[in-house]
Structure 1
Amino acid sequence: MRTKSDNRIVMTLDAGGTNLVFSAMQNGVEIVAPVTLPSEVKDLERCLQVLIQGFEQVRKQLPISPSAISFAFPGPADYEKGIIGDLPNFPAFRGGVALGPFLKKYFGLPVYINNDGNLFAYGEALAGILPEINSKLEACGNSKRYRNLIGVTLGTGFGGGLIIDGKVLRGDNQIGGYLWCLPNRKYPDLIAEESVSIRGVKRIYKELSKEEEDYTPKDIYEIAEGILPGNREAARQAFAELGEVAGYAIGLAATMIDGLIVIGGGLAGAAKYILPSLMRELRGSIEKWGGVKIPRLQAVPYYLENSQELSAFLKHDVARVQVPVFNQWVDYQTDYKLGVALSHLGTNRAIALGAYWYAINQLNNL
């Protein structure tokens, strides 16, 4: 779990297809001016030189020597060994590149690489929504504490990460938390990401509006808001369908992972159009033989950005039962609650914090 105070420094990286942003954190705080360099996605030698250059520029700004390097990098990958596989947006990495061992050899530091979904969830679990909600429960006199988390990112793709008892569920094949390939609620033969992604929102809007112009999700949001001209109903429906498909997939994960759900990513800015359909899916029903309907989830979902639902979620609902024969009473949990919240940290900061605290905890276990 998270260390309360730690002065060790970890160098971090936000790796994108256009830019690489290098930084460093100490005790969960960014302590240098970030260094931004263009990504070299087609030439491996040039890409590695950019990585060295970026980390070197950060290292020169540090008051003491760093203890580790930790960052998110797209997959497929063998994250445990630091080997990056065939990335669609990084042709230079085709065939597999031992990026972690290369950086470890060059800088003489431990190197930890994860996917962004895992680090987003880890940052939220250690420094974001999980401690925030647990603090609110404590303030309300509620003894309930949450330890598990499903982190969801809505953006270029449908990202995810799972935290179980404070630890990242990487999985035996390092593909734990891969929400993107869960079934699609609207199109059963397709993966969820075909609808839960930037390309999904753009496709749905174009189909419904019958317009040929290639709008961005930001444009479509502004059309939904009436800021830009266009088909407002089609724009709102594009985000609503994303919410429906995401809600179905998240419900599958929530059936197995009993914990809070936190949502981030660039598309989460359209939450007012996404979350109603997402919550309807989580609150939906499923049938048994004979037509008997039961709630799809055993726990009741609450949208924690709504003040009334947050108050109901925080309420201390227990009964007291007597220990048979003895004159002793114990509390008995009589309800099950599932909280759904938006990231309050912001996706990039949650990922950076996840990278930092993951490295610190790994160093503690050496």
Structure 2
Amino acid sequence: MNIFSDERLVLTLDAGGTNFVFNAIKGGKAVLKPHGTPSYGDNLEKCLQTMIDGFEHIKSQLSEDPIAISFAFPGPADYSNGIIGDLGNLPAFRGGIALGDMLNNHFNIPVFIQNDGDLYTYGEALGGLLIDVNKLSEKQYKNLIGITLGTGFGAGLVHNNTLITGDNCIAAEVWLISNSISPDNNAEEGVSTRAIINTYNDAIETPDSTLMPKDIYDIATEKKDGNKAAALNAFKLFGKHLGDSIANLINLFDGLVVIGGGLTGASSLYMPEVMNVLKGKFNCGQDRLVHKVYCLDDEAEAKAFTQSNGKQIKVPFSDKTVNYDAEQKIAIATSKLDASTAISLGAYAYAIKELDK
């Protein structure tokens, strides 16, 4: 599936709790400047009208008709039926809002809504990391685990160009998986912006409620005054929690891993600990992963990942030989795409694939 050669036009939306950003995608690329508006998440009628007006604004600037609307929206939701549930960051959505049908009735074109972690991963699979790796690797990879890091902890799964959503459209709810480092909490309590802030504040004499992860990153990198050791430890602990969750996903799904979202700018502070976990052992001495894992952010590891360690072995009772590489390898990387771009690519690809069924 090559989304970059498709000539169909799809309206898209990057929906956040504070702002909506509208655009149109053709051939995997935005065709206009993004159009942003407040989301008015505490006023349902105003929020819904803003959504209609935003899509109308984009449509009015196009020289051709769009064939669908496709976008990510926060959950909980019945995505397959376009119904949004009780959202935490958009409080006006309560009791079930038939958002897909509303937009379909107004624009009279198909409407596709999915989870942002899912669409992020789909975009990376069809236009990001998976494509880049397969250009360089002799082995062709088909599975991708996408991780989004920000206010919360999200994920998605793609197999052979197919988005895996589950029977209830809630596959890869990574934020709720178990947390071996802090067993009484879910994974997101260790992998989120608040986790970094709380860890830092717990370590200093006078906690500062105004700090954001960027401030703590600046303290860790000596761009801002503060407790450097506490800041470094906050990101280290974040990396340990993240590595624990990724190890579980790799063991279950056996795919490459791409990490995106707002916290990737601090990857140099947490990725070493992620790799320590992935390359580590349980107390019994068993390796955490069957795979040998490579970090593509590291030039030497990226080069080693693409090299084959295969050898020729003899076929029993025959003169033939076959190549055998005993190393079961996997790779992890920070995304080269910003999350919004990857989500837009995923939304576009999801609409095209659904329409072609």
TM range (shorter): over 0.9
Aligned to 1:153: 148
The reply on whether 1:17 has 2:51 as its aligned counterpart is no
* 2:170 pairs with 1:178: no
CA drift of 1:210 comes to 2.6
Provide the rounded CA distance (Å) in 2 between the counterparts of 1:3 and 1:235: 42
What is the distance in 2 between the residues matched to 1:325 and 1:167?
40
1:302 lines up with 2:258 in the alignment = no
Q: Amino acid of the residue matched to residue 279 of structure 2?
A: R
Mapped partners of 1:240, 1:170: distance in 2: 31
> How far did 1:325 drift?
2.3
Give the CA RMSD over aligned residues.
1.1
**Cross-structure match for 1:234:** 230
- 1:8-47 matches, within 5 Å, as 8-47=8-47
CA distance in 2, matches of 1:279, 1:172: 32
TM-score, length of structure 2 as denominator length: 0.97
SS in 2 for 1:168: strand
- Structure 1: 5+ residue stretches without partners: none
- Corresponding residue of 1:348: 340
Identical positions, percent: 46
Name the counterpart of 1:257: 253
Q: TM-score, normalised by structure 1?
A: 0.95
CA contact (8 A) 2:28 2:348 kept: yes
Q: Deviations over 1:138-163 (max 9, x none)?
A: xxxx2x01110110011000110011
Q: Residue 3 of structure 1: CA displacement?
A: 4.2
Equivalent in the alignment of 2:123: 123
> How is 1:65-76 mapped onto 2 (pairs within 5 angstroms)?
65-76=65-76
Does residue 195 (structure 1) correspond to residue 190 (structure 2)? The answer is yes
State the alpha-carbon separation in 2 of the partners of residues 52 and 174 from structure 1. Answer: 25
Q: 1:316 aligns with which of 308, 318, 329?
A: 308
Cα deviation, 1:293-315, whole Å, max 9, x if unaligned, reads: 22111101111010110111000
For the Cα contact (< 8 Å) 1:2–1:361, is it kept in 2? no
Give the whole-Å Cα distance in 2 for the aligned partners of 1:132 and 1:354: 16
- SS of 2:81 mapped into structure 1: coil
Q: CA deviation at 1:39?
A: 0.6
Using the TM superposition, give the Cα deviation of residue 201 of structure 1 relative to its aligned residue in structure 2, in angstroms.
Answer: 0.8
Cα distance in 2 for residues equivalent to 1:209 and 1:338: 38
| Contact in 2 for aligned 1:321/1:332 (Cα 8 Å) | yes
Aligned-pair distance for 1:4? 5.1
| Conserved 8 A contact 1:149-1:164 | yes
Give the Cα separation in 2 of the matches to 1:9 and 1:2. 14
Q: Distance in 2 between matches of 1:240 and 1:335?
A: 29
Return the match for 2:276 from 280, 301, 307. Answer: 280
Q: Secondary structure at the match of 1:183?
A: coil
Note the alpha carbon deviations across 1:210-263, whole angstroms, 9 max, x for none: 332121111111011111100011111111111100110111111011110000
Maintained 8 Å contact 1:123/1:350: yes
Q: Does 1:164 align with 2:150?
A: no
Paired with 1:306 and 1:102, the residues of 2 have a C-alpha distance of 47
Secondary structure of 2:155's partner?
A: strand
Letter matched to residue 269 of structure 2:
Y
Task: After the TM superposition, list the runs of 4 or more consecutive aligned residues in structure 1 that deviate by more than 6 angstroms.
Answer: none
Q: Distance in 2 between matches of 1:79 and 1:249?
A: 25
